[in-house]
Structure formats: C-alpha cells, structure tokens
C-alpha cells in the first residue's frame, strides 16, 4: 500500500472513531443558565450561561462549570435517581444563614438523574 492510501485510510478511521465518540461525550455535559449569582463549594458563580461537564465515579462525580473555554469551578457532587424524568433543566437553590444562594441540585431535562451538591 502506498503512503497516500495509508494516510487516507488513517484519516478516515480517525474521523469515524471521533464521530462515534462524540455522542458519548455529549451525555456528560449540559448547558445551563444561572438566573442569579450563587455560591458553590465556596466559589462565587455570577449569573449567566454555563456548560456543566462531569465525570462519574458511580454515584460520585467530578463536576466542572465552564464559561466559554475557561473552567471557573471544579467540585464534587453525586448523582441520584429520582425515578421520574424532568421536562426542563432546573436548578434548586438554598439560602444559607448568611443570605448567600447556593446550588443544592441540578435536574436535567429528559433525565431522572439529579446532580446533588452537599
């Protein structure tokens, strides 16, 4: 086989592998909007759009909040199955003794899995 055919086959194989891998990656990230400034794991998160990505350690998860390409927070959470699928992305807030709003859980549209933060 000449070098051109080998290179072409290698590129095709890499493209197919990437195409198969992308749907799996998409399940472990979601876009969410924080409607208010919040605190999570001692870090202030201003209101706005975020991409949340996670790696599960069953049921524990390492979770990243990113804006653009910049990760603004990396923290730990856990997944719990609530037994019913949610229709929309919902962020559940709690108000601390100091009045600061904190994220206690995130519910994802189309999933019964809830990401919980302590």
**Distance from C-alpha of 113 to C-alpha of 118, rounded to nearest angstrom:** 16
Structure tokens at 39: 């605190």
Q: What is the mean pLDDT of residues 32-50?
A: 95
Q: Which two tokens stand for residue 104?
A: 């206690």
Identify the pLDDT of residue 59: 87
Q: What is the pTM of this model?
A: 0.73
Helix (H, G, I), strand (E, B) or coil at 76: strand
**Per-residue confidence (pLDDT) for residue 2, from 0 to 100:** 65
pLDDT greater than 90 at residue 51: yes
């Amino acid at each position: 086989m000449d070098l051109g055919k080998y290179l072409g086959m290698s590129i095709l194989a890499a493209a197919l592998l990437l195409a198969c891998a992308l749907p799996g990656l998409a399940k472990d990230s979601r876009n969410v909007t924080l409607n208010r400034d919040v605190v999570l794991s001692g870090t202030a998160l201003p209101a706005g759009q975020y991409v949340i990505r996670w790696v599960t350690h069953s049921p524990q998860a390492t979770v990243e909040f990113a804006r653009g390409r910049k990760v603004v927070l990396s923290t730990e959470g856990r997944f719990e199955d609530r037994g019913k699928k949610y229709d929309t992305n919902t962020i559940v807030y709690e108000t601390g003794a100091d009045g600061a709003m904190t994220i206690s859980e995130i519910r994802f549209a189309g999933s019964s899995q809830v990401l919980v933060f302590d």
